[in-house]
């Protein structure tokens, strides 16, 4: 039976089935411990058959009619008032003896003799300890076999222990390395929640995005998954909580491996400004994402302003048109020099002041925009605009009444938590 278990253990080592490997390792260890426990305690019982355990006890021994199977083990020295028990006392024998008298001294004497007997035995815990120490070739020597059966078990543990532990640890290490390699190659399925997915890859864009995103304390611990088919290995393996999934963003299987159903936000990048089909791929990606997870927040980068309408129909929450933004900034730079530098600062999380968004406090419902403006000025915040049901009201009139559900955009050094 034991040989069969060993054979199955090494078979599963080859298959690298971790749960089964652990199960068989536990079975082999426990089996060795039980055999050692059995053989050693049998030997201890034999060695202590003539041992006598004594307790001082004043008792009317003649009135205690013990069963015949215990009379041979019990004697009483009236002169010295010693209660004597020959051999090791089992728990069953202790329970029988305790039924013959309720005297406290008698009960204590029986319990003391039983405890002395137990101290000579090897417990299950000690057997397991001996198995672990022997398998790992540590060999403290605090417990060692005395019986022939125990020595045979010890020989097995010593001979097979080195190979058993070595093979087991090597297999586990190999599985861990393969799992890490699978993750680096983007083959691992993500089991994350409320994470951010970046669809598409451009080295400068993604590295800068991660740096900016993590600069905000509120988002520094959010996990990021890079989903692209243009890379063979993880582009940022040293970044904490940045993961990689290889695949096309237009493939639902790849999106599912990236954990799209449990993600809270997704960014869809145009991987190349020269690719004429980049916008079509972006639109198709957004449509597929919204179909799988309608509640996710989607932000898409698009090259042609003419495709914005299609993205809106695909229910994209935020659309970034690179060409429009760059042209608008250049116009501002010519008409009002310095504006691009200010915009660069307020949209960066790494230095200076930033733009933040917050819900209008309950205390300001039915009050005016001017009231909110004055209150936030005290906190060195400048309110720029309101968001009401998805419509932006930039620098609204001072008498604009604030309503429940309104949010406001403001410039400040830190986010109002």
Enumerate residues 6+ apart whose C-beta is below 8 A from 73: 85, 86, 87, 93
Identify whether residues 277 and 157 lie together within a single domain: no
Identify whether residues 93 and 158 lie together within a single domain: yes
Domain count, the chain: 3
> Which pLDDT value is given to residue 63?
57
162: tokens are 């080195």
pLDDT digits (tens, 9 = 90+) for 290-337: 999 999 999 999 988 888 899 999 999 999 988 888 888 899 889 999
Identify whether residues 260 and 315 lie together within a single domain: yes
> Which pLDDT value is given to residue 42?
86
Rounded to whole angstroms, how far apart are CA atoms 129 and 265? 51
**Burial label, 56 (beta-carbon count in 10 A; 0-12, 13-18, 19+):** exposed
Across the chain, mean pLDDT equals: 85
Position 401 pLDDT exceeds 70: yes
Indicate whether 347 belongs to any domain.
no
Enumerate residues 6+ apart whose C-beta is below 8 A from 371: 364, 402
Q: Per-residue confidence at 98, pLDDT binned at 50, 70, 90?
A: confident
Share of the chain above pLDDT 90, in %: 36
Position 129 pLDDT exceeds 80: yes
CA distances to 39, 86, 234 from 277, rounded to whole Å, are 77, 94, 25
Position 227 pLDDT exceeds 60: yes
Instruction: Tell me the average pLDDT across 20-41.
Output: 83
Residue among 173, 157, 166, 167 at smallest CA distance from 30:
157
Identify whether residues 125 and 254 lie together within a single domain: no
Indicate whether 177 belongs to any domain.
no
Q: Phi/psi at 341 (nearest 5 deg)? A: -65, -40
Residue among 106, 110, 88 at smallest CA distance from 44:
88
Residue among 375, 16, 275, 62 at smallest CA distance from 168:
16
> Which pLDDT value is given to residue 59?
64
Share of the chain above pLDDT 70, in %: 92
Which of residues 142, 162, 182 is at a domain's end? 162
357-363: Cβ within 8 A, 24+ apart: 357/387, 357/407, 357/408, 357/409, 357/410, 358/407, 358/408, 358/410, 358/415, 358/416, 359/405, 359/406, 359/407, 360/386, 360/402, 360/403, 360/404, 360/406, 360/407, 360/408, 362/404
Identify whether residues 155 and 111 lie together within a single domain: yes
Instruction: Tell me the average pLDDT across 56-77.
Output: 70
Which of residues 162, 188, 208 is at a domain's end? 162
> Which pLDDT value is given to residue 397?
94
Among the residue ranges 265-274, 298-307, 382-391, the one predicted with the least confidence is 265-274
Among the residue ranges 1-10, 48-57, 86-95, 133-142, the one predicted with the least confidence is 1-10
Identify whether residues 73 and 205 lie together within a single domain: no
Q: What angle do CA 77, 82, 85 make, to 5 degrees?
A: 95
Q: Per-residue confidence at 224, pLDDT binned at 50, 70, 90?
A: very high
> Which pLDDT value is given to residue 410?
94
> Which pLDDT value is given to residue 12?
54
Which of residues 138, 162, 186 is at a domain's end? 162
Position 137 pLDDT exceeds 80: no
Which comes out higher in pLDDT, residue 95 or 292?
292
Place of tokens 């008498």: 399
Instruction: Tell me the average pLDDT across 36-51.
Output: 83
Q: Which CATH number covers residue 393? A: 3.30.70.1450
Identify whether residues 228 and 110 lie together within a single domain: no
Enumerate residues 6+ apart whose C-beta is below 8 A from 372: 360, 364, 383, 402, 408
Which comes out higher in pLDDT, residue 48 or 232?
232
Position 93 pLDDT exceeds 90: no
> Which pLDDT value is given to residue 100?
76
Instruction: Tell me the average pLDDT across 243-260.
Output: 94
Position 358 pLDDT exceeds 60: yes
Indicate whether 182 belongs to any domain.
no
> Which pLDDT value is given to residue 121?
84
The answer to whether the beta carbons of residues 323 and 273 sit under 8 Å apart is no
Highest mean pLDDT among 71-80, 111-120, 378-387 belongs to 378-387
Indicate whether 393 belongs to any domain.
yes
Identify whether residues 142 and 215 lie together within a single domain: no
Structural domain span for residue 383: 353-412
> Which pLDDT value is given to residue 73?
82
CA atoms within 13 Å, Cβ hemisphere of 390: 5
Q: Could you tell me which residues are beta bridge partners of residue 118?
A: none
> Which pLDDT value is given to residue 55?
78
pLDDT digits (tens, 9 = 90+) for 156-200: 888 777 777 777 777 777 777 777 788 888 888 999 999 999 999
> Which pLDDT value is given to residue 10?
53
> Which pLDDT value is given to residue 6?
53
């Amino acid at each position: 039976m034991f040989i069969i278990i060993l054979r199955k253990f090494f078979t599963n080592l080859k298959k690298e089935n971790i749960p089964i490997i652990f199960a068989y390792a536990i079975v082999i260890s426990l089996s060795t411990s039980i055999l050692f426990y059995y053989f050693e305690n049998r030997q201890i019982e034999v060695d202590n058959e003539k041992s006598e355990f004594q307790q001082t006890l004043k008792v009317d021994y003649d009135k205690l009619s013990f069963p015949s199977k215990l009379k041979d083990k019990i004697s009483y020295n009236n002169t010295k008032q010693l209660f004597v028990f020959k051999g090791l006392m089992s728990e069953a024998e202790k329970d029988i003896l305790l039924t013959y008298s309720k005297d406290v001294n008698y009960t204590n004497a029986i319990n003391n003799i039983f405890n002395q007997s137990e101290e000579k035995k090897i417990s299950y815990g000690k057997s397991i300890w001996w198995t672990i120490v022997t398998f790992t070739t540590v060999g403290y020597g605090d417990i060692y076999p005395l019986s022939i059966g125990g020595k045979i078990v010890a020989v097995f543990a010593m001979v097979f222990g080195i190979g058993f532990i070595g093979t087991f640890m090597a297999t586990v290490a190999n599985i861990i390395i393969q799992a890490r390699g699978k993750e680096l190659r983007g083959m691992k399925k993500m089991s994350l929640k409320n994470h951010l997915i970046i669809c598409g890859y451009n080295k400068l864009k993604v590295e800068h995005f991660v740096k900016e995103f993590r600069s905000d304390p509120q988002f520094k611990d959010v996990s990021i998954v890079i989903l692209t088919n243009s890379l063979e290995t993880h582009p940022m393996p040293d970044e904490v909580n940045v993961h990689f999934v290889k695949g096309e963003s237009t493939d639902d299987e790849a999106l599912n491996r990236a954990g799209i159903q449990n993600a809270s936000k997704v960014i869809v990048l145009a991987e190349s400004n020269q690719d004429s089909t980049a916008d079509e791929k972006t639109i198709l990606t957004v449509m597929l994402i919204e179909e799988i997870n309608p509640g996710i927040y989607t932000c898409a980068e698009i090259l042609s302003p003419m495709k914005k309408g299609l993205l809106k129909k695909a229910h994209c929450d935020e659309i970034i048109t690179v060409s429009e933004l760059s042209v608008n900034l250049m116009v501002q730079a010519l008409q009002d020099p310095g504006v691009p530098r200010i915009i660069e600062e307020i949209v960066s999380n790494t230095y200076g002041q930033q733009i933040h968004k917050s819900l209008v406090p309950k205390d300001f419902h039915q009050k005016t925009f001017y009231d909110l403006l004055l209150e936030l000025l005290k906190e060195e915040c400048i309110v720029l605009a309101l968001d009401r049901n998805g419509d932006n009201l930039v620098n609204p009139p001072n008498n604009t009444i604030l309503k429940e559900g309104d949010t406001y955009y403001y410039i400040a050094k830190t986010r109002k938590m």
